[in-house]
Amino acid sequence: MRIYDIAFYFASFFLAGVLLYSLSISLLIIALIAALAAIFIIAITYISRGTISRYSKALWLAGLSLMILLGALYVSLYVHLENQKINIVFNKKVSFSGIVVAYPDHGKTQNLVIDLKSPYAGKTLVKIPPYPSFDYGDRIQFEGTIQSPQPLAYANYLKKEHIFGVSASPQAQLISKNNGSSIRAELFRLKETMISIFQKILPEEKAAFLAGLTLGEQAEFSKELKDAMKASGTTHLVALSGYNISIIAITLSALFGKALGKRWSFFLSILVIVLFVLMTGAEASAMRAAIMGILLLVANQVGRMYSVRNAIVLAAFFMVLINPLILRFDVGFELSFLALVGIVYVAPAARKLLRIKDDPGILGLRKAFFETLGAQLAVIPFLIITFGIFSPISLLTNILVLAFVPLTMALGFITAGIGFFSFSFAMIFGWIVNLLLSYELFIITSFGRVSLLTITSMSISLAFVYYAALIVLIAWYKLRKPVFAQKVY
């Protein structure tokens, strides 16, 4: 078996084991599943009387299927070690102190992730009034009650962020500043400066939307804008994803490559991508996109063709290796990968089924249409089951908006960059960005008012049937697609 196939199946079986354990299936049952999978693979190959090469591949797959148990053991050990680090007194008024270890969410309330200090230990989410305002790295003394998060879904969501307690409106007093990483502090200050430039140049709602597109920042979004984006299916635009990061990765590689050469371009591009993800808060979608962007750069560096299949699975594998809880409890992570699978596999299959020629079309609208269609088809059951709502109108909304997003992002970054040196000159680019944002927000708010054929429920069994049909469609496309000899990363 080829090395990249071994990597693919190793990561896939490992992820399957993590998922099974996250669904509260016992280690004994998972071990049995792994053993049965290995036996089934060998039995099928023997019954079909395959060639020697097929027997060799079957033995490899049988051995790798045991990685299901390894994945389950890994997440089990991870959870055990995490729980050993926790020392929090719940439901009792106490005095506790800690350091702000994440970018503060400044909205109508301040949401601060606090790393507790002795005699306590662990992370707690503290919700306090907007003033006085606290920053990353601040050490704060609190007087209040820490509660265990409820309901269970919310507790699991916080747990995957290593947050085990919630404290609402405790008394807070600053002890000292600059206790965090100096690099992250500077990156957060850079982010705040960029947002400030947007706010000075653009109207409030447009500045907030541009900050969402370029930096994934949503704290200043009005309730009306959030509702419109949810109803129109465009919330993903302000969640940093592969779409955003790939644009940045390719642009950086091209710019640095011309100025510094291939080797330095490779390392600097990776550095900038990592710093950008840290600056924007290292959300799951951005981390996944960054890992895939880095894999793309690595593939180009070593001179091998980029395999999206391996990139998707390896990106998930590395992220789950860092934090296995995100596979089951991070909705953003799950949506991000489902949408990516839809773009990569469902979109071309749908194009082939409808017999539409393979070119971007005017302003890239044809390409945007099928990418949006693929992503939407891949996430429909998940959205309905998780959020209880899906509107088909979102397909048209995304097609009308997505074609202009890359230009808006590029001009947004240029505007912020110029704003560091010349506010007047930045206003010129800000005027152009303002026009683009006006159009995009008009489409979002207009379609957000239309509730056409909204779907609010779907059974699990129907979701399985739906995804089975998508798999058949993809398999049909793969069988009809010409195969060319090529190197694959």
For the chain, give every domain's residue range: 3-84, 93-180, 239-324
pLDDT: which is higher, 39 or 295: 39
What pLDDT, in 10s, does the model give residues 396-438?
Answer: 887 788 778 878 888 888 898 899 888 888 888 889 999 999 9
Q: Which residues contact 100 (CB under 8 A, 6 or more apart)?
A: 112, 113, 114, 134, 135, 136, 137, 138, 140, 180
Residue 75 binned pLDDT confidence (cut-offs 50, 70, 90): very high
- Per DSSP, the residues of 72-95 read HHHHHHHHHHHHHT-B---SSEEE
Mean pLDDT to the nearest integer, 73-86:
91
Rounded to the nearest 10°, the torsion over CA 64, 309, 333, 193 is: 130
What is the DSSP pairing of strand 123-128 with strand 93-100? unpaired
pLDDT: which is higher, 393 or 456: 393
Residue 342 binned pLDDT confidence (cut-offs 50, 70, 90): confident
What is the C-alpha separation between 203 and 38, in angstroms, rounded? 60
Residue type, 164: F
Q: Contact at 8 Å (CB) between 288 and 315? A: yes
What is the DSSP pairing of strand 139-145 with strand 123-128? unpaired
Mean pLDDT of the chain: 82
Residue 306's pLDDT is 57
Angle between helices 27-47 and 3-22 (to 10 degrees): 140
**pLDDT of residue 485 exceeding 50:** no
Sign of CA dihedral 293, 295, 299, 302: positive
In the chain, % of residues over pLDDT 90:
24
**pLDDT of residue 150 exceeding 50:** yes
What is the C-alpha separation between 205 and 427, in angstroms, rounded? 17
322-344: burial string, b at 16+ Cβ within 10 Å, e else:
ebbbbbbbbebbbbbbbbbbbbb
Residue 17's pLDDT is 94
User: Which of 57-61, 153-157, 299-303 has the lowest average pLDDT?
Assistant: 299-303
User: Which of 20-24, 97-101, 367-371, 378-382 has the lowest average pLDDT?
Assistant: 367-371
Q: Contact at 8 Å (CB) between 311 and 292? A: yes
Residue 437's pLDDT is 94
Residue 285 binned pLDDT confidence (cut-offs 50, 70, 90): low
What pLDDT, in 10s, does the model give residues 88-130?
Answer: 999 999 999 999 988 888 777 889 999 999 899 999 999 999 8
CA end-to-end span of the chain? 14
User: Which of 142-146, 282-286, 439-443 has the lowest average pLDDT?
Assistant: 282-286
Chain length of the chain: 489
Phi-psi region of 364 (alpha: psi -120 to 50; beta: other; left: phi over 0): left
Mean pLDDT to the nearest integer, 249-272:
71
Residue 489's pLDDT is 33
Q: Which CATH class is domain 93-180?
A: mainly beta
Residue 487 binned pLDDT confidence (cut-offs 50, 70, 90): very low
Taking Cα atoms as reference points, which of 112, 210, 229 lies closest to residue 410?
A: 210
What pLDDT, in 10s, does the model give residues 156-214?
Answer: 888 888 899 999 989 999 999 989 888 888 888 888 898 999 999 999 899 999 988 88
What pLDDT, in 10s, does the model give residues 13-53?
Answer: 999 999 999 888 999 999 999 999 888 888 877 776 656 66
Q: Which residues contact 196 (CB under 8 A, 6 or more apart)?
A: none
137's tokens: 């790295």
What is the C-alpha separation between 6 and 89, in angstroms, rounded? 46
What pTM, to 2 d.p., does this model score?
0.75
Mean pLDDT to the nearest integer, 309-331:
84
Phi, psi values for residue 111, rounded to 5°: -110, 115
Mean pLDDT to the nearest integer, 266-286:
72
Taking Cα atoms as reference points, which of 285, 327, 249, 295 lies closest to residue 22?
A: 327
Sign of CA dihedral 400, 412, 226, 187: positive
206-225: burial string, b at 16+ Cβ within 10 Å, e else:
bbbbbbbbbbbbbbbbeeeb
Mean pLDDT to the nearest integer, 209-237:
81
Residue 483's pLDDT is 44
Phi-psi region of 122 (alpha: psi -120 to 50; beta: other; left: phi over 0): left
What is the C-alpha separation between 303 and 463, in angstroms, rounded? 40
Residue 50's pLDDT is 59
Residue 414's pLDDT is 87
Residue 488's pLDDT is 35
Alpha-carbon distance values, 425 to 33, 227, 413, 414, 418 (Å): 64, 34, 14, 11, 7
What is the C-alpha separation between 353 and 23, in angstroms, rounded? 36
Residue type, 365: L
What is the C-alpha separation between 419 and 258, in angstroms, rounded? 25
Residue type, 229: M
Residue 367 binned pLDDT confidence (cut-offs 50, 70, 90): confident
CB atoms within 10 A of CB 473: 17
